[in-house]
Structure 1
Amino acid sequence: MDLNSITGQLQKELNENPNIEIQKQMQYAIPIHTLEVHYHPVMRNAMDILMKMMLISFQKAKLNNVELLAEILLVEPLFIHDLTNKMLRMGMIEKENEVFTLTAKGMAQLESGIFEEELEQTSHFVQYSPIHEQLLEGDLEEFSDLEEFPEPFPTIENEEIEAIEESMLIEFIQRQLSEQPLAEQEVPTFITKVISTESIQINDIPVLCFLLFDQKEKRHFMRVYNTLTGAWDERLETILFNYEKENLKPE
């Protein structure tokens, strides 16, 4: 990545407006955490009639014997045993005081008619910016050839991560997965909860900053280009402008 070339392109873009004067240029670096997010993918299928009948039976009758249920439903006991164990493992039913009952999860799935099967644990890598308190997309490999990085962004006191909202992780990863093409006969999976999140590395990402003066409106403002996202960054513009405005002189 050639920061000088990008800076030149941004200067050209800003100078297209004759009312805008570039008064100061700065380069800073912000930390980006690569997180490994562990979760169990969930596969959703339409519930078959046997599972529905078993759940309804567990819901309405106090059953403590799957052989009896097999006789009632006229199904091989082996099938009933296997499906009962599967539903116990998936948390759809539980055995309390020797009686099978539906859990809240089982009730919800029976009502929806959709069976959610939890698959083996896997993980997904995402990039998180503490200063944004957001997940960001971009290719970290583009910065591998940079030998020197700018000084840290002035308002960053530490690079530690506060708690990240699980819903934000789930929504972000689900969107990224949905954008990937499925292989032939591959079934789409979903994320319902995150097991753990681990920060495995921190990368410095350059941001290119311009303090500008609008001669028509007689006001200063800031533009900050985030080289990871490849776009102007309103969050960083607001933070840096508030930091710099104490030193601004009236025009």
Structure 2
Amino acid sequence: MDLQNTVLQLQKELIQNPSIEIKKQMQYAIPIHTLEVKYHPVMRNAMDILMKMMLISFEKAKLKNVELLAEILLVEPLFIHDLTNKMLRLGMIVKEQEFALTAKGKAQLESGIFEEELEETSYFIQYSPIHEQPLDGDLEEFADLEEFPEPFPTIETEEIEAIEEAVLIEFIQQQLSEQPVAEDEVPHYITSVVSTESIQINDIPVLCFLLFDQKENRHFVRVYNTLTRVWDEQLETMLFNIEKEQL
């Protein structure tokens, strides 16, 4: 990435408005963590009539063995055994003295959809602690940069204190939903995270401008995020709160 050329392009964009004056230019760096997020994908399937009938039977009747259920439903015992073991494995039913539905089983019976947890998999995310959210962009574009600016003023450490699981789940699910799915393929979902590990940290330059609008008689800040390639309103608010103390 050619930072100098990018700065010149941004300057031209900013002063297209003749009332705007560039008072100060700054460059800072923000850390971007590459996270390996491990989770179990969930596959959602519509219940067939046999599974529904079995769940209703386990809920209504006090069944101690599945042989009786096979007789009631007029289904081969082997099918009943296999499906019962599957529902036990998926946590839809429990077996103590009698079979009973779990809260999960009741909810899935009501919705007509059952969830099957698949093998653990990993998804890699670029996460910004200062934004407290994932950011899209190509880190390879910064591989040829030899020097980086000083850290953004509000950054005290590059480490991540905590990440909201819901933020990771929402981001990964959005990415998965944008991937093409074959006609016979069932979409996968993520409902919880097993573990999150930071495996790499990259510094990303942000290009900052303190501006003065002569027409409105006010100062404001613009911050260009070189990773996302857009003006970053969140960083602009943070930086203006710092710069306004010196105006």
TM-score with structure 2 length normalisation?
Answer: 0.97
State the secondary structure of the residue aligned to 1:194.
Answer: coil
Deviation at 1:209, TM superposition (A): 0.3
Task: Report the equivalent of 1:130.
Answer: 129
Deviation at 1:242, TM superposition (A): 1.0
Return the alpha-carbon distance in structure 2 between the equivalents of residues 54 and 184 of structure 1.
29
What are the residue-to-residue correspondences of 1:100-179 with 2, within 5 Å? 100-179=99-178
Return the alpha-carbon distance in structure 1 between the equivalents of residues 142 and 78 of structure 2.
58
For residues 184 and 60 of structure 1, do their structure 2 counterparts lie closer, same or farther at Cα, with a shift above 3 Å needed? Answer: closer
Task: Report the equivalent of 2:213.
Answer: 214
State the secondary structure of the residue aligned to 2:91.
Answer: coil
Structure 2 unpaired stretches of 5+ = none
Please, which moves more after superposition, 63-72 or 217-226? 63-72
- CA deviations 1:182-225 (Å, max 9, x no partner) are 24532211111111111111110100000101111111110000
Task: Report the equivalent of 2:81.
Answer: 81
Return the alpha-carbon distance in structure 2 between the equivalents of residues 236 and 72 of structure 1.
66
State the secondary structure of the residue aligned to 2:83.
Answer: helix
Task: Report the equivalent of 2:192.
Answer: 193
Return the alpha-carbon distance in structure 2 between the equivalents of residues 163 and 67 of structure 1.
50
Deviation at 1:162, TM superposition (A): 2.5
- CA deviations 1:85-133 (Å, max 9, x no partner) are 111111111113x211101110011001112111111111111111111
Deviation at 1:163, TM superposition (A): 2.2
Return the alpha-carbon distance in structure 2 between the equivalents of residues 31 and 166 of structure 1.
20
Return the alpha-carbon distance in structure 2 between the equivalents of residues 224 and 166 of structure 1.
28
Structure 1 unpaired stretches of 5+ = none
Task: Report the equivalent of 2:8.
Answer: 8
- CA deviations 1:10-55 (Å, max 9, x no partner) are 0000010100000111111000111111111111111001100110
Return the alpha-carbon distance in structure 2 between the equivalents of residues 27 and 183 of structure 1.
46
What are the residue-to-residue correspondences of 1:67-78 with 2, within 5 Å? 67-78=67-78
Task: Report the equivalent of 1:228.
Answer: 227
State the secondary structure of the residue aligned to 2:105.
Answer: helix
Task: Report the equivalent of 1:46.
Answer: 46
Task: Report the equivalent of 1:27.
Answer: 27
What are the residue-to-residue correspondences of 1:228-247 with 2, within 5 Å? 228-247=227-246
Return the alpha-carbon distance in structure 2 between the equivalents of residues 247 and 113 of structure 1.
62
Return the alpha-carbon distance in structure 2 between the equivalents of residues 196 and 94 of structure 1.
27
Measured on the aligned residues, the alpha-carbon RMSD in Å equals 1.1
